[in-house]
Amino acid sequence: MTEKTQQIFGKENPSAKPLFGLLPEELRALVESMGLKKYRAVQIAEALYRQHVTTLDAISVLPQALREELAAAGYCVGLPEIIQTALSVDGTERYLIQLADSETVETVWMPEGDGGERGDGSEAAMEEEAADGLEGNTSEFEPRRDMRNTGALELAGYRRATLCISSQVGCAVNCQFCLTAKLGIRRNLTAGEIAGQVVAVMNRQGIRIGKDRINLVFMGMGEPFLNYDELMKSVHLLAGSIGIPESRMTVSTSGVLPSILRFAAEPVRPKLALSLNASNDAVREQIMPITKKWNIGQLLDALKTIPLGKREWITFEYVLLGGVNDQPRHARELLELLKGIRSKVNLIVWNPGPGIDFRQPNPEDVAVFQKMLIAGGMSAYMRRPRGRDIYAACGQLKRTVESDTPLVGIQA
Ligand code: SAH
Ligand code: SF4
């Protein structure tokens, strides 16, 4: 490497323009604008999205002079960087990921997933149920088999995991039970930053596309449907260029009505989960102020416009908050509410966080709630709480740097 190249290539310049995140047609336009042949765009896309390079210099298929030209024109790879790792006793890993402007988001790696996919009819669900040895509904109080399964799958030659990714730095929605809400909204992530979290973690975990089974859930920090365009662009990158099919992705929304309607018309779309969390508007308004803008009835009507595939269900997430929404009358109301919608319910026991004034539900109430839904003909599953000890579970994501909670097991 020449001295000049070394200067250009050193640590990536934070103000450089990232190539990672450009769609194939955008890369083509870029190389053409530089007077280069079209096939260079294919080579760059291959390096970014298949080989997962982290620096321009690693795109070895390009002549050195061309790599220098790209750097001199102000481009970099621009993959977000994992700067901190916390490992849970249950195998979950939480990553602090740094973006070019030094903002950070959190991403969570759950070997064996958290049960969120069970019962939604997808291939990921079948795998999850098979690995669990389950045929029907289950509760979080059953004995855990994760570690054994991880080993078994590795022996079978592949790994299965769910990756929970962020769509915004912070969140504007202000759900009263969620730690991310405490941050407020700082900014939207770009498509490259959303898809980049996936590639950064794949690099770390040595994931092989086409072999390992990776499911993606857009359930990290932020409200994906308030960053709709970049979210959908990231879905196209992940499905079209990185090689994770949209049928293995689930987007979770707190209920942004205009985006649900747009989503219904998408030719390529992930599965959808609505964070319902209440069985009537009065309770939902208290815990999710967004309900004042779009109420439950309006949201359910919008969901009905989504053309569901043969084996597709809409998932409703329901965080059980002790004494607030976890009583038998709520279960009855919920059954009534979801009548006629092809739905499954994922029950999540509320994960506590500092400064949040709720209490966890009693285990007996949880069991009764789930039983009542099942008896009423609903598919109702418990999401396994993953990584609670490291604040990696649902609603516990907050930028670690600002967290007042000490981290367990930081590996840096
Ligand atoms: N903003 C989107 C996606 C991120 S939140 C949404 O709200 O759907 C992902 C899930 O975590 C949502 O279903 C939300 O209701 C749930 N959640 C938030 N805080 C939680 C907490 N403290 N304990 C358990 N689940 C929580
Ligand atoms: Fe935002 Fe989702 Fe948390 Fe609500 S639950 S504040 S929408 S991240």
pLDDT of residue 410: 30
d(CA 312, CA 411): 40
Tell me how far the alpha carbon of residue 81 lies from the centroid of ligand 1, in angstroms.
Answer: 25
Cβ–ligand 2 contact at 175 (below 6 Å):
yes
DSSP string of 328-345, one letter each residue = HHHHHHHHHHTTTS-EEE
Express each pLDDT in 291-336 by its tens digit. Answer: 999 999 999 999 999 999 888 899 999 999 999 999 999 999 999 9
Query: Residue 254 CA: which ligand 2 atom is closest?
Result: 7
Cβ–ligand 2 contact at 276 (below 6 Å):
no
Cβ neighbours, 10 Å, residue 367: 15
Cβ–ligand 2 contact at 396 (below 6 Å):
no
Tell me how far the alpha carbon of residue 187 lies from the centroid of ligand 1, in angstroms.
Answer: 19
- Pairing of the two strands 17-18 and 75-76: parallel
Pocket test for ligand 1, best of 178, 320, 386, 396 (most atoms within 8 A of CB): 178
Amino acid at 262: R
- Pairing of the two strands 160-164 and 213-218: parallel
81 forms beta bridges with: 98
Cβ–ligand 2 contact at 178 (below 6 Å):
yes
d(CA 85, CA 307): 40
The residue whose C-alpha atom lies closest to atom 17 belonging to ligand 1 is: 395
The residue whose C-alpha atom lies closest to atom 3 belonging to ligand 1 is: 219
Pair of tokens at residue 27: 């890369």
pLDDT of residue 155: 57
Pocket test for ligand 2, best of 251, 254, 290, 346 (most atoms within 8 A of CB): 254
Query: Which of 127-141, 275-289, 348-362 has the lowest average pLDDT?
Result: 127-141
pLDDT at 402 over 70: no
- Quick check: 392 and 65 in contact, CB under 8 A? no
- Quick check: 36 and 63 in contact, CB under 8 A? no
pLDDT of residue 346: 97
Pocket test for ligand 2, best of 106, 107, 173 (most atoms within 8 A of CB): 173
Classify 282 as helix, strand or coil.
Answer: helix
The residue whose C-alpha atom lies closest to atom 4 belonging to ligand 2 is: 175
The residue whose C-alpha atom lies closest to atom 24 belonging to ligand 1 is: 350
The total number of residues shown for the chain amounts to 412
Cβ–ligand 1 contact at 394 (below 6 Å):
yes
pLDDT at 152 over 70: no
Only one residue has tokens 């490291």, namely: 390
Q: What percent of the chain has pLDDT over 70?
A: 83
d(CA 30, CA 36): 9
Query: Residue 222 CA: which ligand 2 atom is closest?
Result: 8
Average pLDDT over residues 168-189: 96
Express each pLDDT in 101-115 by its tens digit. Answer: 999 999 999 987 666
Q: Which of 200, 97, 177 is nearest to 393 (CA)?
A: 177
Radius of gyration of the chain (CA): 22
- Quick check: 71 and 89 in contact, CB under 8 A? no
Express each pLDDT in 21-41 by its tens digit. Answer: 999 999 999 999 999 999 999
Express each pLDDT in 189-234 by its tens digit. Answer: 999 999 999 999 999 999 999 899 999 999 999 999 999 999 999 9
- Quick check: 218 and 251 in contact, CB under 8 A? yes
Cβ–ligand 2 contact at 171 (below 6 Å):
yes
Cβ–ligand 1 contact at 351 (below 6 Å):
yes
Task: Say which residue, 144 or 13, is predicted with more confidence.
Answer: 13
219-248 in b/e form (b: 16+ CB < 10 A) is: bbbbbbbbbbebbbbbbbbbbbbbebbbbb
Average pLDDT over residues 124-140: 54
Amino acid at 286: Q
Q: Which of 258, 266, 261 is nearest to 249 (CA)?
A: 266
Pocket test for ligand 1, best of 166, 180, 219, 283 (most atoms within 8 A of CB): 219
Residue 82 host element (H or E): strand 81-87
Annotation marks residue 394 as catalytic? yes
Q: Which of 93, 106, 127, 140 is catalytic?
A: 106
Cβ neighbours, 10 Å, residue 39: 10
Annotation marks residue 336 as catalytic? no
pLDDT at 274 over 80: yes
Task: Say which residue, 226 or 149, is predicted with more confidence.
Answer: 226
Cβ–ligand 2 contact at 274 (below 6 Å):
no
- Pairing of the two strands 185-188 and 213-218: unpaired
Express each pLDDT in 48-93 by its tens digit. Answer: 999 999 999 999 999 999 999 999 999 999 999 999 999 998 889 9
Express each pLDDT in 341-382 by its tens digit. Answer: 999 999 999 999 889 999 999 999 999 999 999 999 999 999
Q: Which of 232, 311, 322 is nearest to 268 (CA)?
A: 232
d(CA 249, CA 252): 10
The alpha carbon of residue 126 and the mean position of all alpha carbons in its chain are separated, in whole angstroms, by 20
- Quick check: 86 and 93 in contact, CB under 8 A? yes
Per-residue pLDDT band at 130 (split at 50, 70, 90): low
Tell me how far the alpha carbon of residue 82 lies from the centroid of ligand 2, in angstroms.
Answer: 23
